[in-house]
Amino acid sequence: MSALRVGFVGLGDIGRPMALRLAAADGAELAVFDLNPVPLAELAAAGARVAESLAALADGVETVCVMVRDDDQVRAVLAELIAAVGSAESPTLRTVVIHSTVAPTTPAELAAAAAEVGVTVLDAPVSGGAMGAAAGTLAIMAGGSPEGFAAVRPALEAMGTKVVHAGEIGAGTRFKLARNLMHFVSFTAATEAQRLAEAAGLDLLALGEVVRHTDTVTGGPGAIMHRATAAPIERDDFWFDVFSHVRALGEKDLRFAVELAEGLGVETPLARLALERLGTGLGLPADQRI
């Protein structure tokens, strides 16, 4: 990595290991700010400069990464950074990267405000949790101009092994929201499956082990995400026969699961909805015979 002067705000469960990865990166000069002194001490021991304020953090760095709790905190941090740049005689801060997951309209609003003082904003939420942050294997989805992305890419690659330029400002946030829709709907489906398994007298811990094992083998929901469009599939498309097979297996197993749930008196609304929508969701015709 070439010389890189970075500031990092927000040293929580994910932000702290992200900052530690930056502190360990070759050629990086890191400054950090947080209200909690405990992670600050750890980052200082790792070689980072501890700033006493956001204005002090912005002084001497080119990029600031923000990983605070919520939309309101992101806006508050950006307001202070913009004020610091606006009042500085020779500001060095050029780019702010928002790693927090915020509302879809927030990145563009903040980018417009920051542009008034010559600062570029990118939204770059992450996926992979604290474990991925600690290992440096996060997926990072960045929205912003190509020039802005190129400027911060070395820092992002110090923290993640899958760095994607999702598009214009706000695209990173939309990318993350789409990804997490699948994540948490899957979690909800897992709770439904657990209720069914428990009613059927099964070991839930063993079920969890099997799910984690087979998701590693098959790829989980990502296994069907190989098309560049969600449009209906033409019959001569390679994926038509592949997904027809997926549909046949899926609908058969879903019918059996719903039948089992009915016999045990367990409500499985997600299974019923999946049975209804799996085929068309895959892009297959609703009247296709299975």
161: helix, strand or coil: strand
The tokens for 242 are: 């592949």
Please name every residue paired with 139 in a beta bridge, in sequence order, or none if there are none.
Answer: 127, 162
Phi and psi dihedrals of 105, rounded to 5? Answer: -90, -10
Does 252 participate in catalysis according to the annotation? no
- CA dihedral (155, 156, 161, 163) positive or negative: negative
Question: Among all chains, which residue has been given the structure tokens 């015979």?
Answer: 289
Cβ contacts of 170 within 8 Å, gap of 6 or more = 104, 105, 107, 108, 123, 143
C-alpha to C-alpha distances, 250 to 254, 275, 279, 282, 285, nearest whole angstrom: 6, 8, 9, 11, 15
Q: Which of 140, 176, 233, 274 is catalytic?
A: 176
Q: For residues 69, 70, 73 and 79, what is the CA-based torsion angle, rounded to 10 degrees?
A: 130
Cα 118 from Cα 98, distance rounded (Å): 17
Which has the closest alpha carbon to 158: 27, 11, 271?
A: 27
Active-site amino acid positions: 176
